[in-house]
Amino acid sequence: MTTQIAITAELRPEEIARKTTLGGAIELCAEAAGFELDKELQSRLGVDKAQFSRWQSGTEGIVWAKFERLMDICGNDAPLLWMLYRRGYDLHSLRKQETEYQRQLRIKEEELAAERKENALLRSLVGGRRDFQ
């Protein structure tokens, strides 16, 4: 599993669906992350301008590791979602799976909420007893 490098950029399914090529989805990915100059993104990806241009034009494929790094750096999955859309998937119903860390955090938050509720009940009961004495 990779660590996301950029702040996640939320993209609406309609924005993704408007793109007609994978190159367009790659451009959307970069634009949503605020990369106006391809130079900075190319540098962070470790590719030259020509290779990046070939990815955008569709004349060269992109290996998964670079593709994943692109999405991690940009903080969104626009190219991947575009491919899913092109394959007929409903982008409105897709959701990411919960990571193990997120699952553990959710469980701890649920336990904490239950304990807070129990503590509030106990405080109200203890407070009520004082009123009777």
| pLDDT tens sequence across 50-70 | 988 888 888 888 889 999 999
**Lowest mean pLDDT, pick from 4-8, 57-61, 64-68, 104-108:** 4-8
Residue 108 to residue 111: CA distance in whole angstroms: 5
How would DSSP label each residue in 93-130? T--PPPPHHHHHHHHHHHHHHHHHHHHHHHHHHHHHHH
CA distances, 133 to each of 92, 121, 127 (Å): 59, 19, 11
pLDDT tens, 81-90? 999 999 999 9
CB 72 within 8 A of CB 31: no
